[in-house]
Amino acid sequence: MPYLKDKGQSPKPMDCRILTAALHLFVHHGYHNVSVHDIQRKAKASIGSIYNHFDSKEGIARALYYHLLDEFEEMLADVIAEELTNIDRCNRIISLLFKYTESRHEIVEFMLYEKHRRFIPGAPPICGVAPFSTMQDIVKWGIENGEICQGSECVITSCVFGGAIRMIHLRLDGLIDRPLPELYDAFIAHIWQGLSRKDQGSLLRAVSG
């Protein structure tokens, strides 16, 4: 393809043209507002060719979705392989998502902002699926080894990644006008340190002094 990275078996050139066209159209107009004719035109292929590569319009969406899901999961595997603390793993994931939101916004929008079950009948809710459960695992490990505060995994995971996902949505909707990576440091600090006013200075002084 490649979408997020080069590894893994990429689809064949023609599949790629079709999937890339479909991704673009789905993101900008919505699955239901895009016809197979639109995809065919954009991919510079014919209807017959489309149906030679995919069994249906829904099949195109499915292929796209599961392909990107795999790439997402690969990215997370890489982050886990890095042997960081679990907090830093969370931060790294957020950092990558913020970057991709700028550089590959169509992919991020399709994966993080679309209701896939609306057009892929069999699809499980995305938040329960591999990459997202992996994110919850990382949080769980962090709680277990004491990096992260005690509490319900799903609540803490929601706090960590829910805020990030919200920012991505706002950015994609044009309601944040700065590139997300510029807001990364502030965001990370808020999440881990909390949002109520606190006298950070004295806390830090207490440690160093």
**201 scored as a contact of a copy of itself (CB under 8 A):** yes
Q: How far is 75 from 78, CA to CA, in rounded Å? A: 5
Q: Using an 8 Å Cβ cutoff, are 126 and 72 in contact? A: no
8 torsion bin: left (phi>0), alpha (psi -120 to 50), beta (else): left
Beta carbon nearer to a copy of itself, 81 or 207: 207
Long-range contacts of 118-123 (CB under 8 A, 24+ apart): 118/31, 118/32, 119/31, 119/32, 119/58, 119/61, 120/58, 120/61, 120/62, 120/65, 121/58, 123/62, 123/65
**Residue 122 interacts with which of DNA, a copy of itself, none, CB < 5 to 8 Å by class:** none
Shortest spacing between CB 42 and DNA, in angstroms: 13
Using CB under 7 A as the binding rule, whether residue 203 contacts DNA is answered as no
The interface partner of residue 201, options being DNA, a copy of itself, none and the CB cut-off 5 to 8 Å by kind, is: a copy of itself
Measured between its terminal Cα atoms, the distance across the chain in Å is 55
Counting contacts by CB under 7 A, is residue 200 touching DNA? no
Question: Using CB distances below 5 to 8 A depending on partner kind, what does residue 81 bind out of a copy of itself, DNA, none?
Answer: none
Nearer to DNA, 52 or 133 (CB): 52
Is residue 28 close enough to count as binding a copy of itself by CB under 8 A?
no
Shortest distance in whole angstroms from residue 17 CB to DNA: 9
CB of 63 or CB of 188, closer to DNA: 63
103 binding DNA? (CB under 7 A): no
Q: Which residues within the stretch 16-55 sit at the binding site for DNA (CB under 7 A)?
A: 34-37, 45-49, 51-53
Q: State how far the Cα of 195 lies from the Cα of 186, in Å rounded to an integer.
A: 11
**Shortest Å, Cβ 14 to a copy of itself:** 28
Q: Which is nearer to a copy of itself, 9 or 207 (CB)?
A: 207
Amino acid in position 52: N
Work out which of 32, 48, 83, 122 binds a copy of itself, going by CB under 8 A. 32
Residues 96 and 76: beta-carbon distance below 8 Å: no
Helix (H) or strand (E) holding 102: helix 86-103
Query: Of these, 91, 93, 107, 138, which contacts a copy of itself (CB under 8 A)?
Result: 91
